[in-house]
Amino acid sequence: MSGFSRFTPLANALPSTVPFVGPEAIERQRGRKLRARIGANESGFGPAPSVLKAIREQAGETWMYSDPESFELREAIALHHGVSRENIAIGCGIDGLLGEIVRLVVEPGTPVVTSLGGYPTFNYHVNGYGGRLVTTPYANDREDLDGLLSAAKREDAPLVYLANPDNPMGSWWDADSVTAFARALPDGSLLILDEAYCETAPAGSTPPVDALIGQPNVLRMRTFSKAYGLAGARVGYAIGTLGNAQAFDKIRNHFGMARISTVAALAALEDQAYLRDVVGRIAAARERIAAIARQNGLSPLPSATNFVAIDCGGDGVRARGIVDGLMDHGVFIRMPGVAPLNRCIRVSAGPDADLDLFEAVLPKVLKAVK
C-alpha cells in the first residue's frame, strides 16, 4: 500500500528503520520469551526502592501534564552539579536531546563528525535531517580524538559527537584528554559530549562540570537511563551555557516529559546512597562477565560502562553466530555493527540469575558456532 504522495523528498529517500532491534521485537519474531535481558545496557538492578515508592505515591497525579519548564527537576540537577538551572535542559532521554540538537544545527548536506561504529541513534537523527556523516575509525578500540579533531577542522563541521565512556566498546579517555579535545575544536564546531555512562566510569575520566561550563561550543549529555535504572522513564538532560540550554526551548516538545518520569528522576537524584550501591554491583557484574569470557577462551575489553565488550577472536560472522546462538537459549545480547568492532559481542551488567544463564549456555553456543 503506497504512502502519502507529498512527504518531503528527504523523507521519501529515507528507509523506515529502527536503530536498534528491541528485545520485544526479537521475542515476537522468535515466538518465545527471553530469559536474560542483558543486551540493551539497561540496569537490571532496577531503580531505588525510594524511587518506586515515590512513583506509587504520585501515580494518581498522572492525569496532569508535567511542568513544561521542568523547573523543579532542573533546579535539583543544577544543585547536584553546582551550576545554575539556566545551564540545564531536560529531554526525553539523551536520544531525544540528540534529535533536538541535530534539528537545531543540521540542514541537508551539513557535515557532522563522529566515529565509525559509534552510537547509531545519533547517526539516525543526522540522516533524518539530511546531514552528511563524516566518520573517523576507532583506534585501539577507542574513539580517535586526533582523528575527530582533524575531521572537524577539515570539514568545518558545525557538529561533533564524542561519547566518553564509549558505546559500543566500553572504552574511555581521561578527563584531561577530553577537556583538551573540547578546547582544541574550532569555535564553530559544537561538541556533543555524551556522558551516559559517567557514573560507572573510573575516577579521573569525567571532566568536572565547571571545567567546560563556560565553553559555548560544548553540550554535555547525561541520563537517568543507566546507573539510575530508569531507562523506561526516558529522562535525560544537557549541561551547557545559558544560550545553548535555552536554545532547546525553540524547538522542543514542551509537554514531552511524563509527569511520573519527572517524579522518578527527582527521587533517584536524592538517593545517592543507592546509586553508589548499584555502581558497585555493576562493577562486580563487569568482573564476572570478563571472567566468564576468559573461561571460554574469549578476550574481554576493559570497560568503564555497565557492559563489557568481548573480543570473540574472529569477524562479524562469528560474533553474529554467537549472538544468535545465545538468543536461541533466551539470552539477549548485542554486538557492534561495523568492522572491526563487530568482531566483539556486548554483554550488559545484570543480576546474578541472568549472568548464571549466560555462563551456562555460552560454552554450548561456542561449540555450535565452531
Within a domain: 5:
no
Q: Is residue 15 part of a domain?
A: no
Residues 85 and 149 occupy one common structural domain:
yes
pLDDT tens column, 80-120: 999 999 999 999 999 999 999 999 999 999 999 999 999 99
Q: Distance between CA atoms of 115 and 133, rounded to whole angstroms?
A: 9
Which CATH number fits the domain that encloses residue 165? 3.40.640.10
DSSP SS3 for 15: coil
pLDDT band at 4; cut points 50, 70, 90: confident
2 occurs within a structural domain = no
Residue 1 has pLDDT above 60, yes or no: no
> Is 336 found in the same domain as 189?
no
pLDDT of residue 19: 82
Q: Which of 32-36, 181-185, 258-262, 362-366 has the lowest mean pLDDT?
A: 32-36
* Domain final residue, candidates 270, 304, 332: 270
What's the pLDDT at 21? 85
- pLDDT exceeds cutoff 90 at 20: no
**Rounded CA separation 302/290 (Å):** 9
pTM of the model: 0.96
Query: Is 10 within a domain?
Result: no
pLDDT of residue 2: 67
Question: Do both 59 and 109 map to the same domain?
Answer: yes
The answer to whether residue 3 sits within a structural domain is no
pLDDT for residue 5: 76
Domain co-membership, 289 together with 355? yes
Model confidence at 32, in pLDDT bands (50, 70, 90)? confident
Nearest to 51 by CA among 270, 306, 280: 270
Residue 10 is predicted with a pLDDT of 94
Q: Which tens digits make up the pLDDT trace of 197-221? A: 999 999 999 999 999 999 999 999 9
Distance, in Å, from the CA atom of 231 to the CA atom of 223, rounded to the nearest integer, reads 9
Of 229, 246, 270, which one is at a domain's C-terminal end? Answer: 270
The answer as to whether 197 is a domain residue is yes
Q: Among 178, 117, 122, 169, which residue's Cα sits nearest to residue 149?
A: 178
Burial of 86 (0-12, 13-18, 19+ CB in 10 A): middle
Structural domain boundaries enclosing 198: 49-270
pLDDT digit string, tens, across residues 140-175: 999 999 999 999 999 999 999 999 999 999 999 999
pLDDT (0 to 100) of residue 349: 98
Residues 254 and 348 in one domain: no
The mean pLDDT value of the chain amounts to 96
| Chain segment 232-260, per-residue pLDDT in tens | 999 999 999 999 999 999 999 999 999 99
Q: Is 3 a residue whose pLDDT tops 80?
A: no
Q: How many beta carbons lie within 10 A of that of residue 335, not counting itself? A: 22
Instruction: Give the total number of structural domains in the chain.
Output: 2
| Domain's final residue, options 217, 238, 270 | 270
Q: In the chain, what percentage of residues exceed pLDDT 70?
A: 99
Other beta carbons less than 10 A from residue 367's beta carbon:
10
Both 147 and 104 in a single domain? yes
At residue 352 the predicted structure's pLDDT band, cuts being 50, 70 and 90, is very high
